[in-house]
Amino acid sequence: MAKTIKALPFLLFLVSYNILLCTLATAKSKSFSKILSPATLGLKKEKLSHLHFYFHDIVSGRNPTAVPVVNAAMTNKSLSAFGLVVMMDDPLTAEPELSSKPVGKAQGIYASASLSELSLLMVLNFAFTEGKYNGSYLSVLGRNSVFSGVREMPIVGGSGLFRFARGYAQAKTHTFDLKTGDAIVEYNVYVFHY
């Protein structure tokens, strides 16, 4: 019996050590994150795609595609329309004419974010409906200084064929109607994706 009592602390140590190892192993297996190889998601070689289309921002008429949803108290007094927030579901077409082939929609918001110039915060998805890109999206988050010749905004992500997308969109005003406020904007988008 004396030998058993002397061996008891050692046995308790072994049992405790095994419990600790099991606990650590369990904790590792229940982690909320792990490192993966891109191949496990079926990702192969990264591609660079160029997309070219026209964005139709229609604020006038019976069926506008962009509508103001918020005005600050100072918006109407501001030369830059500071504080104006507009929700949009603007058509994207292959050519400048609205009647040309539709390729998708620009869905999101833009807001006047500068006190000194007409500069918009753009938060939108290009939701494509044409060809192999049907059902795929590109997300844009950036600054659009409206009166600059060419504006560049980052592509911050995407879905569908544009998973893991990154790149940039260049916007250039094609036409702007001073009476109605309607605009057609040419977009060239360069995007890396798998």
In-domain check, residue 71: yes
Other CB atoms within 10 Å distance of the CB of residue 114: 16
Q: Residue 73 has what pLDDT? A: 87
Residue 176 has pLDDT above 70, yes or no: yes
In-domain check, residue 112: yes
160 phi and psi angles, rounded to 5 deg: 65, -130
In-domain check, residue 44: no
Q: Return the percentage of the chain with pLDDT > 90, whole number.
A: 71
pLDDT-based confidence at residue 142 (cuts at 50, 70, 90): very high
List the one residue out of 169, 187, 166, 170 whose CA is nearest residue 47: 166
The whole-number average pLDDT for the span 89-96 is 98
| Residue whose entry in the numeric block shows the structure tokens 């969109």 | 169
Q: Residue 33 has what pLDDT? A: 87
The whole-number average pLDDT for the span 123-149 is 96
The whole-number average pLDDT for the span 30-45 is 83
In-domain check, residue 14: no
Residue 35 carries which DSSP code? -
**Number of structural domains the chain divides into:** 1
Q: Which domain holds residue 109?
A: 61-193
pLDDT-based confidence at residue 16 (cuts at 50, 70, 90): low
In-domain check, residue 124: yes
In-domain check, residue 31: no
Does the pTM surpass 0.85? The reply is: no
List the one residue out of 144, 70, 76, 79 whose CA is nearest residue 115: 79
Residue 74 has pLDDT above 80, yes or no: yes
Residue 65 has pLDDT above 60, yes or no: yes
Q: Residue 42 has what pLDDT? A: 81
**How is 156-183 classified by DSSP, letter by letter?**
EEEEGGGTT-EEEEEEEEEEE-TTT--E
In-domain check, residue 161: yes
CATH number at residue 132: 2.40.480.10
Token output for 119: 């500069």
182 CB contacts (<8 Å, ≥6 apart)?
A: 56, 57, 58, 59, 60, 176
In-domain check, residue 30: no
Distance CA 117, CA 80 (A): 5
